[in-house]
A and B are shown apart, each in its own frame.
Chain A
Amino acid sequence: MTAAAGTARAVWRRPPLIRNPRLRWAIYGGSLVYLVLAFASVDVNWTRVYEGLDRGLRFVEGFLVPDFVSRWGDIAQGMQESLTMTVTATVVGIMVSVPIGIGAARNIAPLPIYLACRGIIALSRSFQEIIIAILFVAMFGFGPFAGFLTLSFATIGFLAKLLAEDIEDIDEAQAEAIRSTGAGWWQVVNYGIQPQVMPRLIGLSLYRLDINFRESSVIGIVGAGGIGATLNTAMDRYEYDSAAAILILIIVIVMLAEYGSSIIRQRVQ
C-alpha cells in the first residue's frame, strides 16, 4: 500500500474477455471475415421483394380480417387430424419413452441396455421431424398415420433423453436407502426413483404435447396429415385470409395449451 501510493496508476482498462491476444484477434478477425463472406453470398432480389410487398400487405390484411368461413370444412378437417395426431402420438411416445429413458440412465441400467437405449435416442434426435415424416409417408402412405408415427418417434428422442438425465441426477441416497431394505430393482425404481422424477416427467410430457401440436402443423407439408396440408393449400391458392385464420387458430391453441400445462405443473409440484 505504501509503495503503491507513490506510483498510483490513473489508467484502468477492463480486462478483455479472451485473455490471449492472438486468440482474441483471430476470433474477432475470423468472425468479421465470415460475416462479410456470408452477407456477400446472400443475394437479395430487390425487385422481387418490392413486388412481394404487395402480397405482404395483403397477408397483413388477412391477419386483421381472417377468413374462417370459406374454407372452414378444410380447416376443421385439418385441425381434427392435427389434434388427434398430437394426442395419440404424445401418449404412445410417453409409453415408449419411459422404459427407454430408464434404460438410458447409467446409474440404474446395465451397460448393454444403456448403449442400446442411447442409440435409439441418438437416432431419433439426429433428424428433423420433417425428414422422418418424408420417410414415413413413403413407407406408410399419405395421411395422419404417418404423422402419428413421426411425432411418436420424435417424442422418444426428446422425452427419453431428458428422463434419463433426470434419473442420473437424482439424490442417490434415497435410492440407496430403498436398496438397503432389500428391495428389488422394480421396487427401487418405484419407491426410490419415481417419486423424485415424476413432477418433471409430467411437466416434460405436457411440454412435449405442446411441441407435438406445433410440429403437427408442419409435417402436413410433406403429406403426413394435419393442418399443415390445409395451410399449404391456402398459401398455394394465395388465400391469405384463410391462411391467417389457420395461423391464428394455431397460436390460440398453443397459448391455451401452455396456460393449461402451467396450471397442471403448479399442481403436481
Chain B
Amino acid sequence: MLRLQNLTKTYRTGDRALNGVSLTVEPGQVVGLIGPSGAGKSTLIRCINRLVEPSSGQVTLGDTALTGLGHGSLRRARRRIGMIFQEYALVERLTVMENVLSGRLGYVGFWRSFFRKFPPDAVSKAYALLDRVGLSDHVDKRADALSGGQRQRVGIARALAQDPDLLLVDEPTASLDPKTSRQIMRLIVEICDERGLPAIINIHDVALAQSFVRRIIGLKSGEVVFDGAPNELTDAVLTRIYGEEDWSATIRPVDEESDDQVDDPDAEAEHHGPAEVLDRERMAGLS
C-alpha cells in the first residue's frame, strides 16, 4: 500500500508544484492521474521515488517511510519501485538486453554490472520478460534501432525486472500513435493485474485513462480536485480540472474495450474507427 500525506513541493524558482497532496493506493490498484500540463503530475510521481526531493509531507510504501531515507536505503527502496518514462528513457546505445538488465542494477555490485555478468536468475527473468512484452527477437539489438512502441515495451520490461512492489508510469503513450498507445496501456494494465501490482499512471489522454483504469485522480495546480471511478468523470468535473471547454466529444461511456483481451495487434486495429481518431485530434488541445 502506498500512502502520500500532505505532500508539498516548492521548486527553487518559487513554483509550487504540489500543494498538500494526500492519497492512498491500495494493493493491486491501478490509478490514472490526469490533469493539465503543469498540474504537478510528473512532480508527484517523481516525489514518490524521490528523483525529485519533496519539500514536505510523507510518502509511505508498505511499512517504509520513503521520505527521510538515507542515501543507501533510498537506493534499496528505489529497487522496489519500477518506473516507466514518457520518452522511454532507454539508454539508446546499449542493447535491449542491457537495458532490461539495468533494472537489476540495484541488486548487483558495481563490478558485476560493469562486466555485464548478471546472476542466472536475473538473466532468465529478463528473457522471460522480453518474451512477455513480445520482443524475444530483438534481444541483442541496440535500443535506438527499435520503433517507439518497441522501445516502450523495453521500458516496461526494465521496470518489471526490478521485481517492483509499485509501478510509476509517466505519460507512457505521449510519444506514440493512437494504436500503439492502446496496446501499451493494455499491456501495462494487464501486467499489473497479473502480478497484483499497484500502479500510478500519469496520462493526459482522458479517454484512454477512462477505458483502461478503474480509479482516476484529477490534479490541478498541485492539488487533488477529483478522485473517483472513470464513469464519475462528468462535464463539470473535467471543467473543474482543466477549465471551461466543450467536453461532449471527450468523455466516452466506459465501454467494453477495457475488458477485452486482444493480444493480436491486427485484430485490435478494427476496434477503433475514424470516430476515435477524431476524438484524439480534438483532445490534442489539452496536452
The residues of A with any CB-CB pair to B shorter than 8 Å are 171, 173-174, 176-184, 186-187, 190-192, 195-196, 198-199
Shortest Cβ gap from A183 to chain B (Å): 4
Contact with A along B84-120 (1 / 0, CB 8 A): 0111011111100010001111110010011000000
CB distance from A191 to the nearest CB of B (A): 5
Is B81 at the interface (CB under 8 A from chain A)?
Answer: yes
4 new A-B pairs (CB below 8 Å) besides A180-B49, A181-B78, A183-B75?
A177-B158, A180-B81, A181-B79, A182-B80
- Select one of B78, B92, B94 contacting A182, CB under 8 A: B78
B66 at the interface (CB under 8 A from A): no
Once the chains bind, are A191 and B89 in contact (CB under 8 Å)?
no
**Smallest CB–CB gap between B87 and chain A, Å?**
6
Selected contact of A187 from candidates B80, B113, B158, CB within 8 Å: B113
Question: Using Cβ atoms and an 8 Å threshold, which residues of chain B touch A190?
Answer: 110, 113-114
B43 nearest CB across to chain A (Å): 13
The answer to whether B51 and A191 touch across the interface, beta carbons within 8 angstroms, is no
* A178 CA to B103 CA, complexed, in Å: 8
Q: Does any Cβ of A come within 8 Å of B162's Cβ?
A: yes
Bound-state Cα–Cα, A246 to B93, Å: 43
A186 to B75, CA, bound (A): 13
List of B residues within 8 angstroms of A191 by Cβ: 91, 94, 98, 102, 105, 113
- Interface assignment of B76: CB less than 8 Å from any CB of chain A: yes
CA distance A179 to B79 in the complex (A): 10
From A174, A183, A195, A199, B105 is in contact (CB under 8 Å) with A183
Contact across chains for A184 and B110 when beta carbons are under 8 A apart: yes
* Residue from the list A174, A183, A186, A187 in contact with B89, Cβ < 8 A: A174
Question: Which residues of chain A are within 8 angstroms of B78 by Cβ–Cβ distance?
Answer: 179-182
Within 8 A of A (CB), among B24-54: 49, 51
Across the interface, do A173 and B85 meet the contact criterion of CB distance under 8 Å? yes
B: interface residue count bin: 20 to 34
**Residues on B facing A (Cβ under 8 Å):** 49, 51, 75-83, 85-87, 89-94, 98, 102-107, 110, 113-114, 155, 158, 162, 168
Q: B106, B107, B168 — which one has the most chain A CB atoms within 10 A of its CB? A: B106
Alpha-carbon separation in the docked complex, A177 to B90 (Å) = 7
> What are 8 sample pairs from A and B whose C-beta atoms fall under 8 A apart?
A179-B78, A181-B83, A182-B105, A183-B105, A183-B113, A186-B110, A190-B113, A191-B94
How many angstroms between the C-alpha atoms of A181 and B93 in the bound complex?
Answer: 18
Interchain nearest-CB distance for B189 vs A (Å): 21
CB contacts (< 8 Å) of A173 on chain B: these are: 85-87, 89
Q: How far is the CA of A196 from the CA of B83 in the complex (A)?
A: 21
Whether the Cβ atoms of B93 and A196 lie closer than 8 Å is yes
Could you tell me if A176 and B51 are in contact, using CB atoms closer than 8 angstroms? Answer: yes
Q: Quick check: B83 and A180 within 8 Å, CB to CB?
A: yes
The answer to whether B79 and A182 touch across the interface, beta carbons within 8 angstroms, is yes
A177 x B89 contact (CB < 8 A):
yes
Indicate if the CB atoms of A181 and B90 lie closer than 8 Å.
no
In the complex, what's the smallest C-beta–C-beta distance from B71 to chain A, in angstroms?
Answer: 9
In the bound complex, CA of A187 to CA of B158 (Å) = 15
With a CB–CB cut-off of 8 A, which chain A residues contact B162?
A: 181-182
